[in-house]
Amino acid sequence: MQFSVQTQAFYGAGLNFGDALPSDAVSITEDQANKFYKAVNSGCYIYLTDGVLTASEARPDNYHSWDSENNTWILTDGAAEQQKQDQIAAAENEKENLVNTALQDITVLQLKLQAGRTLTSDETTRLNTVLDYLDALESVDVSIAPNIMWPQHP
């Protein structure tokens, strides 16, 4: 069995890859192949250090990329910005879902009011509690995602 750091791929022994075999492919034992196969499938990067193949820690997330010069996972400025934008978008979606859920909770109460019916004391309390919750949701600043303290749903 052979392994290429460049392609992060395994190449079976006894197979003729011709020019397709990367120039950095090195022979590895079956035990190494099993160990590195598990590592690669767990998000680790296999690299050479002092001529020895080594498995990194698992990739922290999809925003990190491998820095071959320092043999570590890094978060580039561009990737950090994309991560922040994705977190804000997720927070905006969460906020919208929470608002919609709260509005569904008071739909019947709103219909009663529109029909000119009087709400009971408990219904009025419930309506005001949900409206206070909606006010709290409206004040949430999604730009600080992912560090948002969401108000508790009543």
Sequence-distant (6+) residues with CB within 8 A of 29 are: 1
- Mean pLDDT (whole number) for 4-10: 95
List the Cα angle 114/137/139 in 5-degree steps.
115
Q: Report d(CA 3, CA 40) in Å as an integer.
A: 11
Q: Of 8, 71, 11, 70, nearest to 42 (Cα)? A: 8
Residue pLDDT, tens place only, 11-69:
998 888 888 999 999 999 999 999 999 999 999 999 999 989 999 999 999 999 999 99
State the residue for tokens 């079956």.
30
Residue 127 binned pLDDT confidence (cut-offs 50, 70, 90): very high
Q: What are phi and psi of 120, to 5 degrees?
A: -70, 170
Per-residue pLDDT, averaged over 102-116, amounts to 94
